[in-house]
Structure 1
């Protein structure tokens, strides 16, 4: 596959995913971006290579960066943020502080979870709706996060963010208790899908 073909496929996949995650219909995105509905359909079907100007308009309308919209990477992605890379936002000589652990471009309903996994135990989850994002911060032990059969180790003090639209498992392979705080960002429910608003799996997160 040539670089141009790869770019076309990436843009098609990412545009469709971000539009779905934002809950935008074709008509809504067309109106927000000032791009014709027909052009958006062609882009999502990988049948055209839009101009840079058109791509920028679509990225702005979706509220994401151009790099995000053109990202080549395929499949579920997990971004691990080691403890030393967390950003100290504010502090005082006495020791008060705020730290930005991890962030993501997402909006919609939010859930905050507290997790405890004893050694050798695990919890698995079916795929969540497209656009669902999970952020977690391990406070004790080490988490083994399994995404699409790929294992990711998240040590105490580190954080992770990932798209939860594929099956995933949280596992404690260590000898001590694993504890973490997790936030789940759920995409807004589209009006035509309101009847399935409660379809998100209840097991795991």
Structure 2
């Protein structure tokens, strides 16, 4: 996979966060208190002046009531092209862990597919818990091995294994091996209700 340029991704993420926050009628302060990301960091992200980590983006997505994949959409979700061409599928590398994600699905669909290349020895911990509306996902290991910790339960996954679960507790992705892993995540997200101020 070849990554998009950092500038184009920062602009894309900035536009999506601004648009989603405005659509929900949230001030910077309200979103900050809702998701646990500082007002100054959200402002930097919305101006495309920050390289946020996957953990920060996940907190924002949770606070906005959308899956993380929605922050990488090119435009507000409308009646989009039902085909997501490979060249248009956004690629993003987490500056903290080095994992590379590609949003495979067309924007605005209720089911999202994400492909991830996860470096050897890397780990990403998402602290967010139960979602409203609920989010369900399946993690299908395409190559290598992954350990997925859901709350206090660890699942060892090898090539071909698939883990299905609701996103209702903290989750830790780790690759305990010396080789990169590759997996697909299929996400089903219920329609979000508008958040108040």
Instruction: Classify the TM-score, shorter chain.
Output: 0.3 to 0.5
TM-score of the pair, normalised by structure 1: 0.39
Question: Which has more radius of gyration?
Answer: 1
